[in-house]
């Protein structure tokens, strides 16, 4: 249950408590607030308040405080929580810089699109559409021309109930497509949880590993990424087993997803992955119900405290159908654009989408609104 948090609460004994700082009260014209607004990394998003939460098992106490008051609140915290709060605050404001993908530079100062290219017969939305390698590569080039900064190639469906694909078959599906796109100058990401597939894709020219298991499914995956020195997407899923949707039960989904990703970031850095090359993804739809997904969307800014770029993917997801009379996957474009617009407004740096042109247009309008507010 949630209860109001006061500064006097902070001095009490919270042996097992955890603190969470989430940017909130976003503002269009930060220059009118002097130093009363902070910028999320090097994005075009500013905020005027922190949503401070203390969680002790199932009990959560929260308060919204102006950004200028956070130092006083931190001073009232026990040392352990105070240090965590300082690290989280620094994570929000630290510039993310650019993603350097071979000769391609992906600038993260405004949201960039990652195009979804599934070369599978059974993906939930576009299964069977791109099983021919040449046609798949052409589709990838078309996505790039429409405005995708990165093309994410996947050879295994991870929809609920999808069968496990042998790594050899997965490699056959993706290898030629990745090679063709990379040869054509496209920045390619490989969507896989298998080390052998990562190796094959990286050898073919992929520049990013996008792992729905956050490098937990395959014991060799961590070493592959460390040796490659490539950027990696760590996504939250409740299970690292064959079915990533298994076991999705939560008391406080936002905090539990955050805690898992925080642990994975720490583990990956300790293993030798450069923190500046880690991207986090809350894993919308993976072992989460509609209400839990909506909570993650509304609380997305919390993940900025990890100090990593955020990848957000809601394209054609089932939650959209659940909110709109069970609309089928091919009729969820409006909901997709709405969710990605919300993510952009909360500072997400990468948006993973099927429909490039429509989402690109929405982001251009969003950018126009931001520019107008900042210069008027």
44-82 burial code (b ≥16 CB/10 A, e <16) = bbbbbbbbbbbbeeeebbebebebeebeebbeebeeebb
Task: Give domain limits for the chain.
Answer: 2-93, 98-375
Find the catalytic residue in 96, 194, 277, 352. Answer: 352
* Span 3-8, average pLDDT: 92
Q: Is 207 a catalytic residue?
A: no
- The arithmetic mean of pLDDT across residues 268-290, rounded, is 97
Task: Indicate which residue of 317, 318, 332, 370 is catalytic.
Answer: 317
- Tokens representing 180 are 């063709």
Mind giving me the DSSP string for 23-64?
EEEEES-GGGGTTS-EE-TTSS-EEEEEEEEEEETTEEEEEE
* Sign of the torsion angle spanned by Cα atoms 92, 94, 95, 97: negative
Determine the average pLDDT of the residues in 22-43. Answer: 92
Q: How many residues does the chain have?
A: 376
For residue 149, how many C-alpha atoms fall within 13 Å in the half-sphere facing its CB?
A: 22
Torsion angles phi and psi, residue 123, rounded to 5: -65, 155
DSSP one-letter code for 15: T
Quick one: 373 exposed, middle or buried, by C-beta within 10 A (0-12, 13-18, 19+)?
Answer: middle
> 275 by DSSP, 3-state: which?
helix
User: Which numeric CATH code is attached to 98-375?
Assistant: 3.20.20.20
pLDDT of residue 32: 86
- Mean pLDDT computed over every residue of the chain: 93
Report the C-alpha gap between 78 and 227 in whole angstroms: 39
CA gap 168, 92 in Å, rounded: 41
Q: Give the Å distances, CA to CA, from 77 to 16, 305, 368.
A: 13, 18, 41
Kindly tell me if the per-residue pLDDT of 229 is higher than 70: yes
Q: What's domain 2-93's architecture?
A: 2-Layer Sandwich (3.30)
**pLDDT bucket at 12, cuts 50 / 70 / 90:** confident
Does pLDDT of 124 surpass 50?
Answer: no
- Taking the C-alpha atoms of residue 284 and residue 351, their distance in angstroms, rounded to an integer, is 12
Report pLDDT digits (tens) over 262-278: 999 999 999 999 999 99
At residue 263, φ and ψ (nearest 5 deg) are -65, -40
Fold match between domain 2-93 and domain 98-375: no
For the segment 73-104, what is each residue's pLDDT rounded down to a tens digit?
999 999 999 999 999 999 999 999 999 999 89
How far apart, in whole angstroms, are the C-alpha atoms of residue 23 and residue 58? 22
What pLDDT is recorded for position 129?
60
3-state DSSP assignment of residue 247: coil
Q: Is the pLDDT of residue 346 over 80?
A: yes
User: Residue 1 has what pLDDT?
Assistant: 58
Could you read off the pLDDT of 125-145 as tens digits, one per residue?
Answer: 554 566 688 999 999 999 999
In tens, the pLDDT along 310-332 reads 999 999 999 999 999 999 999 99
Q: At a CB cut-off of 8 Å and minimum separation 6, what does 210 contact?
A: 152, 189, 190, 191, 192, 232, 233, 235, 281, 311
Q: What is the pLDDT of residues 42-70, one digit of tens each?
A: 999 999 999 999 998 888 999 999 999 99
Per-residue pLDDT at 376 exceeds 80: no
Instruction: Tell whether the torsion through CA atoms of 308, 314, 317 and 323 is positive or negative.
Output: positive
Helix axes 356-375, 333-345, angle to 10 degrees: 30
Query: What confidence score (pLDDT) does residue 272 get?
Result: 98
Residues 230-247 pLDDT 10s: 999 999 999 888 788 887
Helix crossing, 253-271 with 290-298: angle to 10°? 70
Catalytic-residue membership of 352: yes
C-alpha dist (Å) from residue 234 to 191, 268, 287, 340: 11, 9, 16, 19
Q: Take residue 114 and report the two structure tokens written for it.
A: 């990652």
H/E element holding 270?
helix 253-271
Euclidean distance between CA atoms 279 and 267, whole angstroms: 14
Q: Is the pLDDT of residue 281 over 90?
A: yes
The predicted model scores a pTM of 0.95
Q: Which of 359, 300, 371, 280 is nearest to 96 (CA)?
A: 280
């Amino acid at each position: 249950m949630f209860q109001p948090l006061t500064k006097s609460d902070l001095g009490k004994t919270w042996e097992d408590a955890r603190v969470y700082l989430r940017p909130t009260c976003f503002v269009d014209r930060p220059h009118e607030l002097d130093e009363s607004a902070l910028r999320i990394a090097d994005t075009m998003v500013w905020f005027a308040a922190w949503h401070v939460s203390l969680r002790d098992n199932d009990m959560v106490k929260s308060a919204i405080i102006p950004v200028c008051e956070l130092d006083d609140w931190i001073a009232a915290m026990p040392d352990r929580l105070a240090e965590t709060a300082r690290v989280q605050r620094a994570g929000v404001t630290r510039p993310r810089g650019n993603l350097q993908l071979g000769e391609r530079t992906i600038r993260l100062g405004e949201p960039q699109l990652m195009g979804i290219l599934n070369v599978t017969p059974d993906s939930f939305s576009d299964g069977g559409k791109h099983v021919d390698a040449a046609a798949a590569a052409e589709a990838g080039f078309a996505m790039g021309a429409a405005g995708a900064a990165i093309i994410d190639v996947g050879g295994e469906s991870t929809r609920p109930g999808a069968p496990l694909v042998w790594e050899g078959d997965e490699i056959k599906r993706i290898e030629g497509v990745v090679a063709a796109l990379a040869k054509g100058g496209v920045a390619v990401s490989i969507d896989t949880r298998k080390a052998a597939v990562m190796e094959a894709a990286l050898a073919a020219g992929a520049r990013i590993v996008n792992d729905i298991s956050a490098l937990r499914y395959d014991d060799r995956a961590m070493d592959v990424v460390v040796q490659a020195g490539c950027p990696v997407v760590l996504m939250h899923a409740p299970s690292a087993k064959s079915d990533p949707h298994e076991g999705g039960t939560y008391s406080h989904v936002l905090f539990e997803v955050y805690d898992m990703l925080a642990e994975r970031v720490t583990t990956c850095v300790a293993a030798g992955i450069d923190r500046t090359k880690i991207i986090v993804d809350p894993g919308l739809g993976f072992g989460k119900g509609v209400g839990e997904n909506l909570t993650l969307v509304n609380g997305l800014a919390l993940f900025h405290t990890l100090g990593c770029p955020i990848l957000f993917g809601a394209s054609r997801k089932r939650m959209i159908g659940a909110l709109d009379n069970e609309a089928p996957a091919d009729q969820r474009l409006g909901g997709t654009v709405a969710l990605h617009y919300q993510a952009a407004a909360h500072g997400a740096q990468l948006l993973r989408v099927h429909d490039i042109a429509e989402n690109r247009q929405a982001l251009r309008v969003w950018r126009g609104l931001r520019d107008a507010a900042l210069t008027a």
